[in-house]
Amino acid sequence: MMSMNWNYPTSIWFGEKRINEIQKACESLNIKKPLIVTDPGILKTNIVEKINQSLNSKANIFSDVQSNPTGNNVEQGVLYFNTNSNDGVIAVGGGSGMDVGKGIAFMAGQNRPLWDFEDIGDYWTRANSEVIKPIIAVPTTAGTGSETGRAGVYTNEKTHEKKIIFHPKMLPSVVILDPELTVPLPKTLTAFTGMDALAHCLEAYCSNYFHPLSQGIALEGMYMIKQYLIKAYEDGTNLEARGNMLAASSMGSIAFQKGLGAIHSLSHPVGAIYNTHHGLTNAVFMPYVLKKNRKAIEEKIIALSKYLNLKETSFDGFMKWILDLREKLLIPHTLKELINDNSKFEQMSVMAKDDPSTGGNPIKLESADFLDLYINSYNGNL
């Protein structure tokens, strides 16, 4: 594959074996003692070993990261970072490892608690931006796009709510997109993370907010996912497919500057309470939210269907493509197959209504609407 350097919205080094340039990335940011932040699953691969082999000296590793990362994961990482006098973060992995890495770099010099910087209004201005440490992001999945995002998502253990923490300097300064690092990804995670990237692009595309740059990126991101997700799923060694999915994942995160929607609003409470995989949960909710939003998005979906060259260029044709794609990727059709518990739907509906993603949904939704969505997706009423 071709090697390219992009700078949108940050510096992206794309191509095979680009991980070998990790020392150069550290030097460009004046990082002399990096902390590698990752998750336990990545430690079972040779990815961290590859990174350390390419560094001038072996880096410390922090891997106490949950699949749905918590505020405590960040706090413990900050303690480790400061105790070892680290001066920058190499965030490696899927969304969990990258979000915790970004959180550690952000919080290492702050005096206020993490939750004071929730993505509400101008809360981010409470932070001392001068002490935020530089971040290098190395995604090993193609889904969350955290590497091109200015926020992290963490579960507050006390309230069992997912909170979005935002600051412009949480955006990594260098991103390394090396498709070889995604080859060990199992088929299931290839599917779940790929559907996450699709959810990001789709919700951004459907949002009513005006952001034509993100709109174009979302459109092309979905085209790439249509071309390459099944290929990456069926043959994990296909570097062309892996590379294109990595790029589409980053594009999804760039696109959702435009906004997200009810897919994410529904998923966040489920992930916080039941610790489900975020991409998988998004994939389950996707067709139910599309149906709910149909009147507001039908014209956009018809245009999208034409761009994707679907056989049926209609809303129903697009819905059929989504359902067929989920079936090929072995995605469950109902929420019941994920959690088998409908006792908390009213509580979750309030949480979903209050989720920051809700503002980007094409139609206004109240708690009662989210309750209907939970019930319908649980029972498979589409």
Task: Write out pLDDT tens, residues 124-176.
Answer: 999 999 999 999 999 999 999 999 999 999 999 999 889 999 999 999 999 99
Judged by DSSP in three states, 63 sits in coil
Residues ≥6 apart with Cβ < 8 Å to 310: 317, 318, 321
For residue 2, is pLDDT > 80? Answer: no
> pLDDT > 90: what percent of the chain?
96
> What is the count of structural domains for the chain?
2
Structure tokens at 151: 């926020």
For residue 6, is pLDDT > 80? Answer: no
Q: How many residues does the chain have?
A: 382
Number of alpha helices (DSSP H) and beta strands (DSSP E) in the chain? 15, 9
pLDDT digits (tens, 9 = 90+) for 361-374: 999 999 999 999 99
pTM of the model: 0.93
Residues ≥6 apart with Cβ < 8 Å to 217: 201, 204, 251, 254, 255
| CATH code, domain carrying 219 | 1.20.1090.10
| CATH code, domain carrying 37 | 3.40.50.1970
Distance CA 221, CA 204 (A): 11
**Residues 151 and 272 grouped into a single domain:** no
Tell me the average pLDDT of the chain: 96
Owning domain of residue 310:
186-379
**Residues 195 and 175 grouped into a single domain:** no
pLDDT digits (tens, 9 = 90+) for 42-75: 999 999 999 999 999 999 999 999 989 999 999 9
The residue from 181, 212, 240 where one domain ends is 181
